[in-house]
Structure 1
Amino acid sequence: MREQEELKADVLVVGAGPVGLTLAMDLAARGVKVLVAETRRHAEPPNVKCNHVAARTMEQFRRLGVAQKLRDAGLPADHPNDVVFRTSVTGIELTRIPIPCRRDRYTETEGPDAWWPTPEPPHRINQLFLEPILLEHTAALPNVRLLNRTQVGGFEQDADGVTADATDLDTGDTRRIRCRYLVGCDGGSSGVRKRIGAKLEGTAVIQRVQSTYIRAPQLRALIPGKPAWSCYSVNPRRCGTTFAIDGRETWLVHNHLNAEEPEFDSVDRDRSIREILGVGEDFDYEVISKEDWVGRRLVADRFRERRVFIAGDAAHLWVPYAGYGMNAGIADAINLSWLLAACVQGWADERILDAYQAERQPITEQVSQFAMDHAQKMIRARRAVPSDIEAPGPEGDALRAEVGREAYELNVQQFCCAGLNFGYFYTRSPIIVADGEPAPAYTMGDFTPSTVPGCRAPHLWLADGRSLYDAFGPGYTLLRFDRRVEIGALEKAAREARMPLAVLDVDAKEIPRAYRHRLVLCRADQHVAWRGDRVPADADVLVARLRGAAAA
């Protein structure tokens, strides 16, 4: 064991899962030098976890130049992304939530999941396919260095940065890493979170799930009717969820344990899988891997300790809901990235970093409550499955129709969740200028586009065919809807403060009604920071606020 040379970077990212890789990609795109430390080997296959990339995440991947690579991967292009409820995977269909396949994702206009006001609607893809694409893209960036098989241990902070100790897990060699900031994207058991003294608070156990990744080439031929991306099995013997991974022969089976089954090993895995699939003892399948997990509702009491931050599962854990665990972590990364870059680039005051916890912690707390509430409703529904749900004849048909209606109403907002994607907003932020108008209510299924400061700037298509977001600058972007409005004072104040400000005179095919003001100032993460009909007389005060140099 020997000590190697000290490494230096602007930001050290601990963890190379989707959250850490997205953070590194975004920082690198802003000219920030990044080191990423990961305990796994390079290109080691990830866990079979997330199956869904939300629209807000895809909007950011579009900006980072990786969206199309992801669209081209995952399930076959024509494989339905529907969510179906059946008595078993091979049993009787109860209801179906239609979701376009990736071939039709941009063109389909019918159905609860086809109206998304965005250049990048959601994409169903398992982490097995997602993460390697993000890794390849990140590894090719000039400002990023990946340190695989590297364990970050202790670290110390001072007025100018962070010094971390890192160990090569193969050789035992140690090295020091000097950085301005450190971000822990190291998962639910985060060492970074523990070292800054942050604590997870909430509900420790909501649901236990036996999760098995299997290969079953014969299964698809046994499934009646139209295939689906996800199938919820509803029967009195065993309820579970099955995801199509490659659309041909691999599947992820979640067996939802009952309250009286507190131990994973107390439940016969093989029998449960067969009950969920609806197959007999003569059906052959191969277990590829097992990853049992506990659904929780936990949010860290703080996301930051001076120059050290946490994001993703390191900061919040909840029952998988709308696939939003990973996506919430990526939203953390996008929120934090431009703030860190602003400090590294020298145009922002360090106080701008206070916005990260002020904005992200309340949102993740709220989403965690949504997830827990839905999980509890699903638990109650599983307990109430009628014993005769598989009975033949008219009475059985009527019962299945009723259960199907209830399942649809309970779950359509989870899988067609425009509100979850676009409706969240930031309040009480030190860098958002409120104007007294409240933001529309945050709900799961629906949302009202709004330019209330803190909301996502409503999407529109420009006259030249570009998305509005394609025209945003790397810092702040001023949308001007009337060229007669004089903006020189704001441009001058931004220039003197070295704050990047792009001006976009909006020429659009159709302007959403939410744009009621002649000026809307948007941040790098596409959230509205300020709006008005004229530049304020004290434009320098507004710029100071946006730079984090003035108190809210």
Structure 2
Amino acid sequence: MHTPATDAFDTDVLVVGAGPVGLTLAMDLAGRGLRVTVAELRAYMEPPSVKCNHVAARTMERFRQLGVADKLRRAGLPDEHPNDVVFRTTMTGLELTRIPIPNRLERFTDNGGPDTWWPTPEPPHRINQIYLEPILLEHAAALPGVTLLNRTRMDGFEQDAQGVNATLQALDGGAPRRVRARYLVGCDGGSSGVRKAIGAQFEGTAVIQRVQSTHIRAPGLLERLPGERAWCYYAVNPRRCGTVFAIDGRETWLVHNHLHPHETEFDAVDRDQSIRHILGVGADFEYEVISREDWVGRRLVANRFRDRRVFIAGDAAHLWVPYAGYGMNAGIADALNLSWLLAAQVQGWADPAMLDAYEAERQPITEQVSRFAMDHAQKMIKARSAVPPNIEADDAAGAAERARIGDEAYRLNVQQFCCAGLNFGYYYSGSPIIAGDGEAPPPYSMGDFTPSTVPGCRAPHFWLADGRSLYDAFGPGYTLLVTRPGADAAALTEAAAAAGVPLRVLDVSAEAARPAEYRHALLLCRPDQHVVWRGQAVPADAAALVQRLRGAAPGSAFTPGNVAEAERSVS
């Protein structure tokens, strides 16, 4: 395999932004042997804001491969703290319904709820970003090949046919620093300077809802809670609707006050009174504001994710209302889609056109997910505007209304908190590096999906006889699964070796746990678990298939923003 000279470059990839997306990208690139420099405005271990509260199963699967999943599972809420989602008239009021979710102790043994059946080695984990991000940061900082530049701003960049020249400025003083990288990736958030510099523009819906978020310390709140505790509390009453997340499981909470559609000015809404209406406490209840943030829920997707050697990922590429927890998680999926493509370039075995797959695959998916989230947000807004005035009444009519609202809330929200479809159902359609066979991938919704080996889909999970997850046995490049005894894969392995394409052969023909969906003798998967080809025998022109895998064969046309084909396949 030819590896390009490194003398002219200070780093292989310059990542702008050390949030969860940028750190995950750096971790995966470093694990593939690349040199990565990460520029971050904040100081080392400076706490992030309390934003994301959920790490999705697909993200945990990849954190498992990166060697950090176990450490993350030990962080966040206490082991025995319930992870349920509960709907009440106020946080301390009458319960309407409850969505059961296993706590950390029961996460791998509970099989009785809507969040327990998922076919994965790593189910979801409820943890706030203030605990998640420091673990990722510490892990990334310890990896060979990763250079963290904290309190550093990128002031601009220029690119040529071979690389990118970026200007970095230390915020604590000193002369500007020039860094030459092969590639640059902007993971620098919703106001991304990298996105603006490449001329990409957000398109979509600018305002869906407005939210006042307040991180509070309230030591006396836990003792006021009736019944079983929860991870997430929805308050539903005529005065104010909101959401409260348990942060440390003891005294810190994140309160989201969902403003009414007519409330367009944040400062015009009494934050303290709204918090008390959501919590269900009077003026005598004491709490401390740790931090506060006002934000607008949007549905925005960039019209391009790339300009030659410069890419964007995460909030820099897409923003939406964070229902189903898929803001940060979609960004991490971006990073892990892009990382192996960049590594293939630096390692010298991929055609430059292979990088076209990033935008071709991720832009349609983020467009889809953003519409799922927007649709759910609009349904929630409608539900908040229709709260009956007697929902708290201590009579038969009030009880009937609570039962009705509870039933509606469960049916609407179980799909976002138990969102198997968004985790395992999405697929890549029209990718230049996936060889389709004419069979359409099955449709999926936010909550449901059908396992499939159609090229573009996630390879269905199963446990190997030796106790490993199927994904534990995947190689760093492509993995060829042999499901039929004696299936001859020699022509494909020889063609891959001749082209320098990394290919691991994994014989699973004797695995009793292999799902019925594996009905082809040979199945080729990527490191991000997506199927790229399947067949009963190696194609006659194995070399042509390998050329497609390395991006050198003509593929499906892709125009940024054209997602009609993918949209038709989503239920």
TM-score relative to the length of structure 2? 0.95
Counterpart residue type for residue 376 of structure 1:
Q
Q: Which runs of 5+ in 1 are unaligned?
A: 1-5
Of the candidates 155, 158, 161, which is equivalent to residue 156 of structure 1? 158
* 2:354 partner SS: helix
Q: Counterpart of 2:537?
A: 534
For residues 13 and 338 of structure 1, what CA distance do their matches in structure 2 show? Answer: 15
The answer to whether the Cα contact below 8 Å between 1:460 and 1:508 also exists between their aligned partners in 2 is: no
* 2:10 partner SS: strand
Q: Counterpart of 2:562?
A: none
Superposed displacement of residue 7, structure 1: 7.5
Per-residue CA deviations over 1:259-317 (Å, capped at 9, x if unaligned) read 11101110000000000000001100000000111000000000000000000000000
For residues 247 and 30 of structure 1, what CA distance do their matches in structure 2 show? Answer: 37
The answer to whether the Cα contact below 8 Å between 1:520 and 1:528 also exists between their aligned partners in 2 is: yes
Superposed displacement of residue 172, structure 1: 4.3
Alignment of 1:449-488 (within 5 A): 449-488=451-490
The answer to whether the Cα contact below 8 Å between 1:163 and 1:179 also exists between their aligned partners in 2 is: yes
The answer to whether the Cα contact below 8 Å between 1:461 and 1:509 also exists between their aligned partners in 2 is: no
Counterpart residue type for residue 541 of structure 1:
A
Superposed displacement of residue 509, structure 1: 3.4
Superposed displacement of residue 352, structure 1: 0.4
Per-residue CA deviations over 1:101-124 (Å, capped at 9, x if unaligned) read 011111111110000100000000
The answer to whether the Cα contact below 8 Å between 2:232 and 2:244 also exists between their aligned partners in 1 is: yes
Q: Counterpart of 2:112?
A: 110
* 1:299 partner SS: strand
Of the candidates 10, 24, 49, which is equivalent to residue 51 of structure 2? 49
For residues 342 and 161 of structure 2, what CA distance do their matches in structure 1 show? Answer: 16
Of the candidates 356, 361, 364, which is equivalent to residue 362 of structure 1? 364
Q: Counterpart of 1:434?
A: 436
For residues 355 and 516 of structure 1, what CA distance do their matches in structure 2 show? Answer: 27
The answer to whether the Cα contact below 8 Å between 1:476 and 1:522 also exists between their aligned partners in 2 is: yes
Q: Counterpart of 2:526?
A: 523
Superposed displacement of residue 248, structure 1: 0.3
The answer to whether the Cα contact below 8 Å between 2:75 and 2:131 also exists between their aligned partners in 1 is: yes
The answer to whether the Cα contact below 8 Å between 1:234 and 1:385 also exists between their aligned partners in 2 is: yes
Per-residue CA deviations over 1:502-544 (Å, capped at 9, x if unaligned) read 0000142311111110110000111000000100111000000
For residues 351 and 188 of structure 1, what CA distance do their matches in structure 2 show? Answer: 28
Superposed displacement of residue 395, structure 1: 1.8
Counterpart residue type for residue 348 of structure 2:
G
Per-residue CA deviations over 1:45-68 (Å, capped at 9, x if unaligned) read 000000000000000000000000
Of the candidates 254, 263, 266, which is equivalent to residue 264 of structure 1? 266
Per-residue CA deviations over 1:313-348 (Å, capped at 9, x if unaligned) read 000000011111000000000000000000000011
* 2:484 partner SS: coil
Superposed displacement of residue 442, structure 1: 2.3
* 1:102 partner SS: coil
Alignment of 1:501-520 (within 5 A): 501-506=503-508, 507-520=510-523
Counterpart residue type for residue 367 of structure 1:
V
Of the candidates 188, 196, 211, which is equivalent to residue 186 of structure 1? 188
Counterpart residue type for residue 509 of structure 1:
A
Q: Counterpart of 2:569?
A: none
* 1:449 partner SS: coil
Of the candidates 543, 546, 549, which is equivalent to residue 546 of structure 2? 543
Counterpart residue type for residue 44 of structure 1:
E
The answer as to 2:165 corresponding to 1:167 is no
For residues 48 and 508 of structure 1, what CA distance do their matches in structure 2 show? Answer: 43
* 1:317 partner SS: strand
The answer to whether the Cα contact below 8 Å between 1:100 and 1:108 also exists between their aligned partners in 2 is: yes
For residues 418 and 174 of structure 2, what CA distance do their matches in structure 1 show? Answer: 48
* 2:421 partner SS: helix
Kindly report the root-mean-square deviation, in angstroms, between the aligned alpha carbons of the 2 structures.
0.8
* 2:105 partner SS: helix
For residues 7 and 457 of structure 1, what CA distance do their matches in structure 2 show? Answer: 37
Q: Counterpart of 1:228?
A: 230
For residues 437 and 101 of structure 1, what CA distance do their matches in structure 2 show? Answer: 39
Counterpart residue type for residue 294 of structure 2:
D
Of the candidates 8, 11, 14, which is equivalent to residue 10 of structure 2? 8
Per-residue CA deviations over 1:384-407 (Å, capped at 9, x if unaligned) read 000010000222111100110000
Q: Counterpart of 2:318?
A: 316
For residues 483 and 430 of structure 1, what CA distance do their matches in structure 2 show? Answer: 31
The answer to whether the Cα contact below 8 Å between 2:9 and 2:182 also exists between their aligned partners in 1 is: no
Q: Counterpart of 1:3?
A: none
For residues 500 and 106 of structure 1, what CA distance do their matches in structure 2 show? Answer: 34
For residues 400 and 80 of structure 2, what CA distance do their matches in structure 1 show? Answer: 32
Superposed displacement of residue 136, structure 1: 0.3
The answer to whether the Cα contact below 8 Å between 2:425 and 2:458 also exists between their aligned partners in 1 is: yes
For residues 7 and 537 of structure 1, what CA distance do their matches in structure 2 show? Answer: 41
* 2:319 partner SS: strand
Q: Counterpart of 1:385?
A: 387
Runs of 4+, deviation exceeding 4 Å: none
Q: Which runs of 5+ in 2 are unaligned?
A: 1-7, 556-571
Counterpart residue type for residue 227 of structure 2:
G
Counterpart residue type for residue 406 of structure 1:
E
Counterpart residue type for residue 306 of structure 2:
R
Superposed displacement of residue 81, structure 1: 0.5
Counterpart residue type for residue 547 of structure 2:
A
For residues 207 and 394 of structure 1, what CA distance do their matches in structure 2 show? Answer: 34
TM-score relative to the length of structure 1? 0.98
For residues 33 and 444 of structure 2, what CA distance do their matches in structure 1 show? Answer: 34
The answer to whether the Cα contact below 8 Å between 1:7 and 1:175 also exists between their aligned partners in 2 is: no
For residues 321 and 351 of structure 1, what CA distance do their matches in structure 2 show? Answer: 34
* 2:327 partner SS: helix
Alignment of 1:47-446 (within 5 A): 47-446=49-448
* 1:322 partner SS: helix
The answer to whether the Cα contact below 8 Å between 1:10 and 1:32 also exists between their aligned partners in 2 is: yes
For residues 552 and 326 of structure 2, what CA distance do their matches in structure 1 show? Answer: 33
- Residue identity (%): 74
For residues 352 and 237 of structure 1, what CA distance do their matches in structure 2 show? Answer: 54
* 1:167 partner SS: strand
Superposed displacement of residue 483, structure 1: 3.0
For residues 539 and 63 of structure 1, what CA distance do their matches in structure 2 show? Answer: 29
Q: Counterpart of 2:25?
A: 23
Counterpart residue type for residue 427 of structure 1:
S
For residues 512 and 258 of structure 2, what CA distance do their matches in structure 1 show? Answer: 48
Counterpart residue type for residue 487 of structure 1:
A
Question: How many residue pairs were aligned?
Answer: 547
